[in-house]
Structure 1
Amino acid sequence: MICDNVSSHKTQRVVDFLTAHRNVRLHFTPTYSSWLNQVENWFSRIQRDVIARGVFTSVKDLDRKLMRYIREHNQNPKPIKWKYDDPSRRIRQVPSQ
């Protein structure tokens, strides 16, 4: 199970899950692994554009609408353009001594 370094939610549930599934290992991503945020961004878009605005008559209907959204997105894909809203938080090179 891959976990980002955000504070743990539902800690007891995680402990219960790990106790029940002893073959599962936790792998924590480094705090600087921003590439994972692209995945979070994609799921956020799906949540915002499809799920939160949708009315679904069945699981199959939800599946159909999700796949339509993905196909439409893939017809004209665009890379995510990262930008810093707060330049003071940028990673700076450590000065050599």
Structure 2
Amino acid sequence: MHLVPTHASWMNVLEVWFGIIERQAVRRGVFKSVKDLNTKIRACIDGWNDRSHPFVWTAEEILKKANRPTTSSPRY
């Protein structure tokens, strides 16, 4: 069985992944060439792979979030 997060898809995981690369490798960076940018991104990916911690969801976490009470009043 493959469990996908509720109200999400694998594309959301890719969006998170690119956000991580952007925050850790690209933001506030100064790159003199495209090759320099590629080198920085590759170093970020290699470091991520060395630490190797995948995105993981469990059914309990998903159900807990899906069943939590709403914070806004339906009267409005």
Structure 1 length normalisation: TM-score? 0.50
Which structure features the higher share of strand residues? 1
- Aligned-residue Cα RMSD (Å) equals 2.7
Which runs of 5 or more structure 1 residues have no equivalent in the other structure?
1-30, 92-97
Q: Kindly report which structure 2 residues correspond to 1:44-63, keeping only aligned pairs within 5 A, or say none.
A: 44-63=19-38
Q: Report runs of 4+ in structure 1 exceeding 3 Å deviation.
A: 81-84
Partner of 2:54: 79
Which structure features the higher share of helix residues? 2
Q: How many residues align?
A: 59
1:79 alignment partner AA = P
Partner of 1:38: 13
Aligned partners of 2:24 and 2:53: how far apart in 1?
Answer: 16
Q: Quote the sequence identity (%).
A: 40
Aligned partners of 1:53 and 1:34: how far apart in 2?
Answer: 30
Aligned partners of 2:35 and 2:54: how far apart in 1?
Answer: 29
Instruction: Tell me: higher relative CO, structure 1 or 2? Use CA pairs within 8 A at least 6 residues apart.
Output: 2
